[in-house]
Structure 1
């Protein structure tokens, strides 16, 4: 790397100015060696657990992938911890050579999983739910211990260390973290369309494997149904919730219906399961916020939309209206974010930025404990955490939670 990454990450304006138009891009080398010894040599994989807290609180990651093998290898190596579990769901449309590379990588580690079931995925969201579910089914096996699972896409990049994420998840204390978007007109139209086109009753979906649970009715005498909700597919899920949706639910019809929607049906998968109060899923959330138009903050993913904050994307590169972060964003956007992952960085846009961020993350992972820099109040008072605590320990009725949300970070939509 010909850049001085330390000066870049710490926002040296003169140095950054001189780097203008000096972008490095990268395309996978078809002759890249996939021998384990070569994979180890060109990266640095931690082979010991950094702390007792991290050892006792392993994490899991389910990432859908289809391109840019070298980026994925480097991202894994930068943030790898031997106690964690890593699942790569490979798009069935991906090149055979890419699939072979991912299989070769997995063969070098006992804690990397590649599901045999593969699904075609696309930028319209089709197949995403089944792909993530294929990882869930593998990861919940009893011998695979973890506390939280993070769902990811190909070009998501980690910005919190493993130590930081463990602490943040402990502060969430069992609550799942997912975003809920009900304000955009496109999302509202999509939700209305899905409700008109498909039947979402438990009985129609045959959603519970125990058929008797699908025939129940609510207090108004209406059949129980899913309450649709949408948001980014990146989420942080507590293990009891993941075990519930795999072991207790049959998601076949639900996912078929979402895949038969024109665009972004995947964004209704996890959020709907979390927010459908009648499912009574463990560690889940509620639909009450959406019903009352209360915004709920979310920490798993950070991104910048072109139609919302175009001026904050310093690379000025966008893909599907989402910022592709570059060199100038490392200081302006990554430096002290409260989020866990950023979407997105891509080697064909700015590989130098990826190299420098990986260098910074290796330094943080190995040389620096950043726990004192975390603001515990942000996460402990997160609306999802407050809801989960109040629901399980205070026994307050759902109708009173509006005040809890607003007090702890939610705000009434205008």
Structure 2
């Protein structure tokens, strides 16, 4: 997937040099903000990248593994690739930030993709159905989705609840074309993100 994302970014960067952000979507992602809301959020981000940076859970670290670049096979099936690039000061990636916040115990939240994980409690998934420990968003989850600061949401699957997708598209249409302002952008939330500061 990393190779596919990279190839896509290469093509997009050649087509329009005026773009300031690329949003990577995956299967069953839906847009959760109107284009005008996304522009406002991106303006607040001011060029900073949006990547969650947290300490690696101990359960995901194979203690018997040799953790060097060769054995990690950096560009093969590495789920933490973007996070590693994001905090590597010596790479100087545009919009990157340091790992000093992580060392100080500051969690770097992210607003690109909202997912309701099963272990966040039963109230976190109003539909009550999970796939690979992630909530399948249904019509019952729309009020929660509308209030979240994220610009994408995962997982809304047509074979699970097509009505939820139709209803959500109507919300985005109304926000875009009818000036519906059901949940105004909370500017201070984005302005106070660690990666923005």
TM-score of the aligned structures, taking structure 1 as reference length: 0.44
Please give the secondary structure, in 1, of the residue aligned with 2:195. helix
Show the counterpart of 2:39.
166
Q: Which runs of 4+ in 1 moved over 6 A?
A: none
Show the counterpart of 2:51.
178
Please give the secondary structure, in 2, of the residue aligned with 1:150. coil
Unaligned 5+ segments in structure 2 are: none
Question: Following TM superposition, by how much is the alpha carbon of 1:289 offset from its aligned partner in structure 2, in angstroms?
Answer: 2.4
Show the counterpart of 1:296.
108
Q: Tell me: CA distance 1:130–1:352, structure 2 relative to 1, closer, same or farther (3 Å).
A: same
Does the CA contact (< 8 Å) of 1:161 and 1:361 recur in 2? yes
Q: Tell me: CA distance 1:373–1:345, structure 2 relative to 1, closer, same or farther (3 Å).
A: same
Q: Does 1:357 align with 2:177?
A: no
Select which of 68, 74, 96 maps to 1:254: 74
Please give the secondary structure, in 1, of the residue aligned with 2:22. strand
Distance 1:310 1:372 in 2: 24
Q: Tell me: CA distance 1:312–1:372, structure 2 relative to 1, closer, same or farther (3 Å).
A: closer
Distance 1:328 1:383 in 2: 32
Q: Tell me: CA distance 1:270–1:193, structure 2 relative to 1, closer, same or farther (3 Å).
A: farther
- Report 1:140-219 matches (<5 A): 140-141=13-14, 143=16, 145-182=18-55, 184-187=57-60, 189=61, 196-199=66-69
Q: How many residues align?
A: 197
Q: Does 1:320 align with 2:132?
A: yes
TM-score of the aligned structures, taking structure 2 as reference length: 0.89
Question: Following TM superposition, by how much is the alpha carbon of 1:186 offset from its aligned partner in structure 2, in angstroms?
Answer: 2.6
Let me know the Cα RMSD of the aligned residues.
Answer: 2.4
Distance 1:330 1:255 in 2: 36
Q: Tell me: CA distance 1:136–1:352, structure 2 relative to 1, closer, same or farther (3 Å).
A: same
Q: Tell me: CA distance 1:367–1:280, structure 2 relative to 1, closer, same or farther (3 Å).
A: same
What is the CA deviation profile of residues 196-250 of structure 1, one whole-angstrom value per residue up to 9, with x for unaligned ones?
24326xxx9xxxxxxxxxxxxxxxxxxxxxxx9xxxxxxxxxxxxxxxxxxxxxx
Q: Tell me: CA distance 1:364–1:316, structure 2 relative to 1, closer, same or farther (3 Å).
A: same
Q: Does 1:311 align with 2:123?
A: yes
Q: Does 1:270 align with 2:71?
A: no
Q: Tell me: CA distance 1:193–1:354, structure 2 relative to 1, closer, same or farther (3 Å).
A: farther
Q: Does 1:130 align with 2:25?
A: no
Distance 1:160 1:193 in 2: 43
Distance 2:182 2:64 in 1: 45
Distance 1:351 1:317 in 2: 14
Question: Following TM superposition, by how much is the alpha carbon of 1:315 offset from its aligned partner in structure 2, in angstroms?
Answer: 0.7
Q: Tell me: CA distance 1:359–1:310, structure 2 relative to 1, closer, same or farther (3 Å).
A: same
Q: Larger Rg: 1 or 2?
A: 1
